Structure formats: C-alpha cells, structure tokens
C-alpha cells in the first residue's frame, strides 16, 4: 500500500487505495502546518505590525486560507485525481499545462526554501554541540531523507513517519518552544508595543493567505487517497488551519520576545536557549523534512500531467535532486513578495475551480477530466482577470514587474486583495462555465 502512488499515476485512485480518514489526514496536514518556514513567515509580520495587529492578521488569513484549502481538498477527494489533473476540467487538458508549469516552479522554490531552513537549523545545532556547521552536509542529508519520503508516497509517509515519529515529537517540541518564547518576555509589554508601520493588517492577512493557498494546487495529490470528501475537508481544514495559525503566531512572538531583527536568525536563537531548546529544535528539524517531501513529491506528480508515461519514481528523484542543488547554491532571502505572488496566482485559480465544480453539480466525472476540450479560454480568462485585479491592487513579485504594474495607476489602497481577486475570478467563471455547459453536449450530460 505504501507504493500506491506508483500504480495510480494520474488515473482516479481506486476505492481500495482510498484509506485515509479524517484523523490520518488531520495528522498529515497538521504536521505540514508545523514548520520552521511558517515560523519565519510569521516573523515577517512584526515589528511592522504590533502583536495584536499581527494576531488579527493571522486569524483572518488562516480562516480565509484554510476554508479555501479545505474546499479544494474535498474537491480533490471527490474527483480522486492529482491537483493538476483536476484543473483539466475548468481549464481544458492543454489549458491545465499553464498552472502545471507555475506549480512545478513553486514546488521547486518551496523545496529549496525548506531545505535551506532545515540545513540552517541543523547547522546551528551542530555548531552549538560540535563546533561546526557543515550546512552543505545537512542539505544533502535532509535532501536524501526527503527523497526517501517521496518514494514512500502519501500513505507510506502517514503510516511510517507521521504516526510513528511526528505525532509524538512535534507536539512536545511546539509546546516547549511556545513556553520558551514567552518565558520572561513579559507578554503584557509585548502586547502594548506599537508597530513600526510599513504593513497594514489587511496586507499581513494577505501574506498569511499566501502561505496557505500555496498548498491549494498540491492538496488533491494527497486527498485523492481520502475515504470521502468530508474526511478531506475536516482533516485538512482543522489539521492545517490550527497548526498554521499557532506557528505563525509563534514566529511573531519570537521576533518580539527575543529581539531578532532577521527572521532567518531564528534557529540560532533557539539553540541559544539551552539543551531542552536544542532537543525541541532537533525534533522540529527532523519533522520539517515532510514539507520538503511534499513539495518535491507534488512537483513530480504535477509533471505527470505533462508526461503521464514517465515513471513517478524517476520524477520524484529529479525534483528532489533539483531542490537539493538549489538549496546548495542560493542564499535565504526575504520571500514576502514570493508569498504574495503565489496568492495572486492561486487565489483566483481556486475561484475558477470552485465555480466550474459548482456549475458541474459539485461532482467531476472521469469524462470531465479526461475528455475535456484542449482549452477553455473563457475560464482561463477568468483566472487572468482575478490575477490582474490582485496585482493592480497590490503588485508583488520581482521589482521589474512591480514597477511595470505601478505604471498602470495602482490605487495604493491598504485593503485586502484576496477577497476581491477571488470574487472577480469566481464571478466571471460562474457565468462562463454555465454558458459553456449549456452549449457542450459532453458537459451537459447528467453527472454520475
């Protein structure tokens, strides 16, 4: 059963392999939410925002993002196919290649980020204990571990890694680090400290949404193995949403309580907290590997949408190797713009998927996915409209892109951009999907 992903490829998962219930799914996604990289993401919010403002941004962002993620998870469980194959229905078979290319790039980027953070934490630990960092060696070691997990597949990871290791080590580590972050810090003083400005609560919430919605194109890769859409919704929504919010808040508190000016310095600061802090960080560092696995594995699964005949194991090896090489050759830099750029792409993409799925009667058949037309330009245009609105309201990405967008007359409003982008894409997509379904004999057939 641990090799289930090798036998299914991009085909719908057979009932015999749909073995993950709400608890298993919640454990997997709860573990994915407990991440050093998410802690670093929470650290981005302060000191620009005050701690109360950061908490509001986290609650808003996690609520919106988790509802989107859980809904996408349930759609994937219903259709029983990987995320990029799922997008054949709204965008067309060749149209799905567009988000596939974007998703492969983001999976590679997240794999690199994860391995850099893991190696930084492991290097800080070894420097404290043995007097050397050897970051390159830790990168290779954890890259190899991520590869092993990728070859196990989702079911194997849940049964052999999450249930046996993470479910015990991670909660204890998180509890200790939370206590350590607050110990002697004076929570009342932290709560009263004003923010330095430069970021609004709404913009902070959009950053948080960006952390969460980056999983939307990946989530069906795992929930296709769920017993039911309801199990997928509950497991992902609660498992990821709760732990994600806790890690983001912990990151914000750590920056303020330990006077850190650089979010990337968090691992070294934790190591300085003593032996128990070292053990806690070690547990989180090992558990962090499942995030690197998830991104490398989903990068491989996404590539199968383009090349379904290529063995998945070969693609897993390739994506993990590329991520490891990238982690060895680039430096960790601020990725706030990276998160916002992901939000601008994947929030409206989810709006298009949800709209088409609802118009289809809340059910995708095999024909919807594998006999879809090559292109559905109207729904691709709906995705583009949502992306354009997001970028116009709050341009993000490389500096050259931001400069070009601002020349178009950016309004400069400090408003939430996630909801307008989603509503625009969803609204256009509902109209287009309804019209196309009426005109298409194939898509007008009753759903089974």
In the prediction, which pLDDT does 303 show?
95
User: What's the fold here for domain 15-186+198-439?
Assistant: Hydantoin permease (1.10.4160)
In the prediction, which pLDDT does 339 show?
60
pLDDT along the chain (448 residues), means of 10: 54 92 93 83 86 94 94 96 95 95 88 85 80 87 92 87 82 84 78 85 87 90 95 96 93 80 63 72 78 91 92 93 90 59 85 95 93 94 93 78 75 71 95 81 45
In the prediction, which pLDDT does 14 show?
92
In the Cβ-directed half-sphere of 369, how many Cα atoms lie within 13 Å?
22
In the prediction, which pLDDT does 38 show?
84
Residue 213: which residues within 8 A CB-CB, separation 6 or more?
Answer: 65, 68, 69, 342, 343, 346, 347, 350
In the prediction, which pLDDT does 333 show?
56
Domain ranges of the chain: 15-186+198-439
Structure tokens at 117: 């953070």
In the prediction, which pLDDT does 441 show?
53
In the prediction, which pLDDT does 5 show?
44
């Amino acid at each position: 059963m641990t090799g289930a992903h090798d036998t299914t490829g991009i085909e719908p998962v057979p009932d015999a392999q749909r073995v993950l219930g709400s608890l298993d799914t919640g454990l997997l996604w709860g573990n994915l939410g407990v991440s050093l990289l998410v802690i670093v993401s929470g650290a981005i919010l302060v000191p620009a925002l005050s701690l109360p403002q950061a908490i509001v941004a986290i609650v808003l962002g996690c609520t919106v993002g988790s509802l989107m993620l859980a809904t996408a998870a349930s759609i994937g469980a219903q259709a029983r196919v990987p995320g990029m194959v799922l997008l054949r229905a709204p965008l067309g078979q060749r149209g799905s290649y567009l988000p596939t290319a974007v998703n492969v790039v983001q999976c590679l980027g997240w794999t690199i980020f994860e391995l850099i953070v893991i190696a930084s934490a492991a290097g800080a630990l070894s420097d404290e204990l043995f007097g050397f960092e050897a970051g390159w060696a830790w990168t290779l070691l954890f890259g190899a571990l991520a590869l092993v997990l990728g070859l196990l597949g989702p079911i194997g990871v849940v049964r052999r890694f999450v249930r046996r290791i993470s479910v015990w080590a991670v909660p204890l580590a998180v509890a200790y680090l939370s206590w350590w972050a607050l110990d002697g810090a004076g929570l009342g003083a932290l709560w009263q400290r004003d923010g330095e400005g430069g970021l609004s609560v709404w913009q902070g919430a959009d950053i948080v949404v960006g952390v969460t919605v980056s999983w939307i194109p990946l989530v069906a890769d795992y929930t296709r193995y769920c017993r039911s859409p309801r199990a997928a919704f509950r497991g992902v929504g609660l498992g990821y949403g709760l732990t994600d919010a806790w890690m983001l808040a912990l990151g914000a508190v750590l920056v303020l309580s330990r006077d850190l000016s650089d979010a990337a310095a968090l691992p070294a600061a934790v190591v300085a907290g003593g032996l128990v802090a070292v053990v806690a960080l070690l547990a989180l560092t090992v558990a962090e590997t499942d995030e690197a696995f998830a991104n490398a594995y989903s990068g491989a699964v996404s590539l199968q949408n383009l090349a379904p005949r290529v063995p998945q194991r070969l693609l897993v090896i390739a994506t993990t190797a590329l991520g490891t090489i990238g982690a060895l050759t680039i430096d960790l830099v601020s990725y706030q713009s990276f998160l916002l750029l992901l939000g601008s792409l994947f929030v409206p993409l989810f709006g298009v998927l949800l709209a088409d799925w609802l118009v289809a009667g809340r059910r995708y058949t095999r024909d919807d996915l594998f006999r879809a037309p090559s292109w559905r330009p109207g729904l691709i245009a709906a995705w583009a409209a949502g992306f354009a609105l997001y970028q116009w309201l709050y341009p993000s990405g490389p500096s050259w892109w931001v400069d070009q967008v601002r020349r178009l007359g950016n309004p400069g409003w400090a408003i939430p951009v996630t909801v307008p982008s989603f509503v625009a894409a969803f609204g256009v997509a509902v109209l287009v999907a309804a019209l196309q379904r009426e005109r298409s004999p194939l898509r007008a057939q009753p759903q089974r």
